[in-house]
């Protein structure tokens, strides 16, 4: 074979054009493409795997409805998703410790918890029970109350009778009640219209979400409860993972970590800068009696069914990190 032909063959085999061993990774995510976590996946995860995989993201829950993604992965109908402790807790009760109000202190604490040995049994159960590998923790942010009504909310008792939309999972409904509100289960995609029509009195999400999904257009105030420093996990099908070479597994893990770190930095910056933007849009933003909220929420969780599923000493270990 002439050297020139051989060289061309080698170049072809090493190039992206060599489709023989390329795989496709379909991801279903309930966030819009303009969310920092989605941007991070496109800017950091996709480039890190494009030498052997076609990344196919489906935003806005356009492929699988919010809350159905984990089962889709477990059944082999989906390769990746960005899931939550709340969704995992539907199948593995002890994940509820990461859904409890006022547990994670901040983004750094979230990473310390995810990287600590205490997380190993959680990751193992997600793999054994759901066939889902939790690659990295993504920072969603400090969830705040966001109401379309304008009465002052200074302590939990002020939320009595307030119809607060919370996501569908049972741990979200519990958090809504622990705050003192009347929680209404609803998918993320329906929240804007529900606020606009008054079907609910409010919702809770971090400031970047309030801006990115334009909830500020249909609400009047934000109460800085920071009742949960929320997170998501980049979740990968175990079946697909086991089909990869060790090198490809390393590339996937590295790309996921880079996306999580990049998204965290950008989300944290947004949380700081958006306060003024929202005030300029006319929203009233203020801190309530944080001790009153924290004391009530933490005592309700400690006495809850959820706490009974938490491995002994785990909350103290999380607090010690
Ligand atoms: C929401 O539905 O309020 C929520 O914040 C829950 C999160 O776990 C996550 O699903 C998020 O929506 C979406 O990614 C949209 O930001």
Q: Tell whether ligand 1 has an atom less than 6 A from the beta carbon of residue 59.
A: no
Nearest alpha carbon, ligand 1 atom 12: 188
Q: Tell whether ligand 1 has an atom less than 6 A from the beta carbon of residue 183.
A: no
Strand bridging mode 53-58 / 284-286: unpaired
Supply 197's token pair: 């029509």
**Which pLDDT band holds residue 4 (cuts at 50, 70, 90)?**
confident
- 150 versus 11: the higher-pLDDT residue is 150
Q: Which atom of ligand 1 is nearest to the CA of 212?
A: 16
For the chain, give the mean pLDDT. Answer: 95
Instruction: Please determine, for residue 7, whether its predicted confidence score (pLDDT) is greater than 80.
Output: no
For residue 204, give Cα distances in angstroms to 184, 224, 263.
11, 10, 20
Q: Tell whether ligand 1 has an atom less than 6 A from the beta carbon of residue 293.
A: no
Determine the distance from the C-alpha atom of residue 239 to the mean position of all C-alpha atoms in its chain, rounded to a whole number. Answer: 22
Nearest alpha carbon, ligand 1 atom 16: 31
Give 273-302 pLDDT, tens digit per residue: 999 999 999 999 999 999 999 999 999 999
Phi-psi label, residue 56: left if phi above 0, alpha if psi -120 to 50, beta otherwise: beta
Question: What's the whole-number mean pLDDT along residues 115-131?
Answer: 98
Instruction: Please determine, for residue 13, whether its predicted confidence score (pLDDT) is greater than 80.
Output: no
Among 66, 60, 63, which Cα is nearest to 24's?
A: 63
Among 170, 167, 149, which Cα is nearest to 158's?
A: 149
How high is the pLDDT of residue 15? 54
Instruction: Please determine, for residue 20, whether its predicted confidence score (pLDDT) is greater than 60.
Output: no
Q: 8 CB contacts (<8 Å, ≥6 apart)? A: none
> Which residue out of 31, 183, 185 has the highest number of ligand 1 atoms within 8 Å of its CB and is therefore the one to mutate?
31
Instruction: Please determine, for residue 18, whether its predicted confidence score (pLDDT) is greater than 70.
Output: no
Nearest alpha carbon, ligand 1 atom 13: 31
Nearest alpha carbon, ligand 1 atom 8: 84
How high is the pLDDT of residue 1? 74
Instruction: Please determine, for residue 21, whether its predicted confidence score (pLDDT) is greater than 90.
Output: no
Question: What's the whole-number mean pLDDT along residues 96-112?
Answer: 97
Nearest alpha carbon, ligand 1 atom 10: 30
Give 59-76 pLDDT, tens digit per residue: 999 999 999 999 999 999
Instruction: Please determine, for residue 3, whether its predicted confidence score (pLDDT) is greater than 90.
Output: no
**Which pLDDT band holds residue 5 (cuts at 50, 70, 90)?**
confident
Q: Considering the chain, what percentage of its residues have pLDDT values greater than 90?
A: 93
How high is the pLDDT of residue 14? 57
Model pTM score: 0.93
Give 183-227 pLDDT, tens digit per residue: 999 999 999 999 999 999 999 999 999 999 999 999 999 999 999
Give 142-159 pLDDT, tens digit per residue: 999 999 999 999 999 999
Give 25-40 pLDDT, tens digit per residue: 999 999 999 999 999 9
């Amino acid at each position: 074979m002439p050297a020139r032909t051989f060289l061309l063959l080698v170049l072809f085999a090493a190039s992206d054009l060599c489709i023989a061993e390329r795989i496709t990774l379909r991801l279903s995510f309930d966030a819009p493409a303009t969310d920092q976590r989605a941007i991070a996946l496109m800017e950091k995860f996709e480039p890190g795997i494009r030498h052997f995989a076609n990344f196919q993201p489906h935003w806005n829950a356009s492929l699988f409805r919010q809350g159905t993604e984990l089962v889709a992965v477990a059944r082999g109908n989906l390769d990746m998703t960005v899931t939550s402790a709340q969704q995992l807790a539907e199948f593995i009760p002890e994940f509820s410790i990461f859904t409890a109000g006022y547990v994670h202190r901040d983004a750094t604490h979230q990473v310390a918890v995810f990287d600590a040995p205490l997380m190993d049994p959680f990751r193992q159960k997600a793999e054994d029970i759901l066939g889902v590998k939790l690659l990295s923790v993504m920072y969603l942010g400090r969830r705040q109350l966001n109401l379309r009504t304008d009465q002052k909310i200074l302590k939990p008792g002020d939320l009595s009778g307030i119809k607060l939309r919370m996501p569908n999972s049972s741990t979200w409904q519990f958090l809504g009640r622990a705050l003192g509100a009347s929680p209404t289960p609803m998918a993320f995609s329906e929240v804007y219209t529900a606020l606009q029509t008054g079907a609910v009195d409010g919702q809770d999400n971090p400031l970047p979400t309030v801006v990115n999904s334009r909830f500020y257009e249909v609400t009047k105030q934000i109460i800085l409860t920071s009742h949960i420093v929320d997170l998501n996990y980049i979740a990968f099908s175990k079946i697909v993972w086991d089909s990869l070479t060790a090198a490809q597994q390393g590339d996937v893990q590295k790309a996921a970590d880079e996306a999580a770190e990049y998204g965290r930095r950008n989300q944290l910056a947004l949380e700081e800068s958006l306060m003024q933007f929202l005030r300029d849009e006319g929203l009233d933003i203020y801190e309530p009696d944080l001790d009153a909220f924290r004391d009530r929420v933490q005592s309700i969780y400690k006495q809850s069914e959820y706490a009974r599923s938490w491995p002994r000493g785990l909350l103290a270990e999380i607090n010690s990190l």
